[in-house]
Amino acid sequence: MPVFEWTAAALAVGLLIYLIAALLRPEDFS
């Protein structure tokens, strides 16, 4: 798998985790 695909997948997963964390604990992202 090309490096670009790994990078894109890692960024997508990281963003998804960040959004879920922000939804679950909005007080931490105020």
Report how far residue 24's alpha carbon sits from residue 1's, in angstroms, rounded to the nearest whole number. 33
**Amino acid 28: pLDDT:** 75
Q: Under a CB-based contact definition with an 8 Å cutoff, are residues 28 and 21 in contact?
A: yes
Q: Provide the domain limits for residue 8.
A: 1-30
DSSP state of 24: H
pLDDT tens readout for residues 1-30: 699 999 999 999 999 999 999 999 888 776
Q: How many domains does the chain have?
A: 1
pTM: 0.65
